[in-house]
Structure 1
Amino acid sequence: MVQHHRLSEIRELRKEVHKNQRLASLGLLAAGVAHEIRNPLSSVKGFATYFKERYQHIPEDQYIADIMIQEVDRLNRVVTQLLEFARPIKLFTKPTCINTLVRDSLKLIERQAREKNIGIETRFLSQPERVGIDSDKISQVLLNLYLNAIEAMNG
């Protein structure tokens, strides 16, 4: 009975090791793919920025260049998310005021919302508690939600 239990433990440990090896391989693959995608994206964004500056007097070209820049930024966010998904997450939690976190993260997208005539309404807790969270990670999640919402409202 004890030997059967030991064999089961060994099998489980082998499965875990195999799973970890596959995750490590996935992480390396994701890093390589990210590098191969980001280099051309940087070139595309550079050219789009150049054209936007060069053809300032043509509104349609300005609009197209802006779209190109926004899409490159979106693809860069997707690549970043791929990398974050493929590697283990390290959380750095600290007591954080949720009201402040939301307020600060909204400031980052106010201009994009205003440009698309999207209003932002907020209602905060009058006496917010501090919560132990990784404020950088939560800010990124909020920013992704806001940007996705703006994109969805736009079209």
Structure 2
Amino acid sequence: MNVTLIALGASTAAFRGLGALGVRRFATWRDSAAHGMAAMLLLTASAHFVPPSVTVMPTHADMVAMVPPQLPYPELLVYATGVLELAGAAGLVWPRTRRSAAACLALLFVLMFPANAYAALNEVPLAGDPATPLVPRLLEQLLYIGLMGWVAWPRGLAAKPAPKAAAAERA
């Protein structure tokens, strides 16, 4: 199984377990999932900065190899996406910034998918492991995008009417 999915699932479950023990920050699955995604992003973002001498996990060079050749400055793009993942992780843990961070991360996951597709279709290895096929990569990206939608819009996309507007509609 994919290490990032294990990190996401295990950290979300651990946070929810803390919530069950009374830690209010993790009182709901939604809050726990936001923190679980933040933990996973710390893991994935670290790969954007790991030097080639480290072989246990994906390295910066692995990430650069995933960038489609049509895109300019692949090394800079890898550093930038790593920084954006770290910023998104930080944003997810603060309730005031959670919605914005989740929306921005969903967009980032969409924008990074071409690199995943390129890596799958061109069999770019990651940390010496064979390339992950396209369909599992797509499903994983859709999971992350969906999770960010669930975190960002807990009541769906429709906004609740303001109390005065709701009272005026009943009158």
Give TM-score, length-normalised by structure 1: 0.34
Structure number with the bigger relative contact order (C-alpha 8 A, sep ≥ 6) is 1
Q: TM-score, normalised by structure 2?
A: 0.31
Decide which structure has the larger Cα Rg and report it: 1
